[in-house]
């Protein structure tokens, strides 16, 4: 996703930080469906378990 102007950060109050003079997004995961944000994971902790957390969320919210 490209957001060089950080419009999403401003509109959605997403977490950012500055490093090396650049504003960057903190580690987060957005679940997007049909152009709509369904869920945001933040903070990502513990990082080694995050993929399983996302898969669990997707399984619990599966439609169809």
Q: Residue 31 is part of which domain span?
A: 7-60
- Indicate whether 2 belongs to any domain: no
- Indicate whether 14 belongs to any domain: yes
Mean pLDDT by runs of 10 across the 64 residues of the chain is: 88 94 94 93 96 97 82
Could you give the CA distance from residue 17 to residue 7 in angstroms, rounded to a whole number? 15
- Render the burial of 5-22: b for 16+ CB within 10 Å, e for the rest: eeeebeeeebeeeeeeee
Instruction: Report the relative pairing of strands 29-33 and 16-19 from DSSP bridges.
Output: unpaired
Q: Which residues contact 34 (CB under 8 A, 6 or more apart)?
A: none
- Indicate whether 33 belongs to any domain: yes
User: How many structural domains is the chain composed of?
Assistant: 1
pLDDT of residue 43: 95
pLDDT of residue 24: 93
Q: What is the CA radius of gyration of the chain?
A: 14
- Indicate whether 40 belongs to any domain: yes
């Amino acid at each position: 996703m490209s957001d060089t102007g950080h419009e999403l950060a401003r509109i959605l109050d997403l977490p950012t930080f500055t490093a090396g003079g650049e504003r960057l997004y903190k580690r987060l995961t957005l679940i997007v469906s049909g152009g709509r944000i369904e869920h945001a994971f933040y903070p990502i902790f513990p990082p080694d378990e995050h993929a399983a957390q996302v898969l669990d969320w997707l399984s619990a919210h599966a439609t169809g």
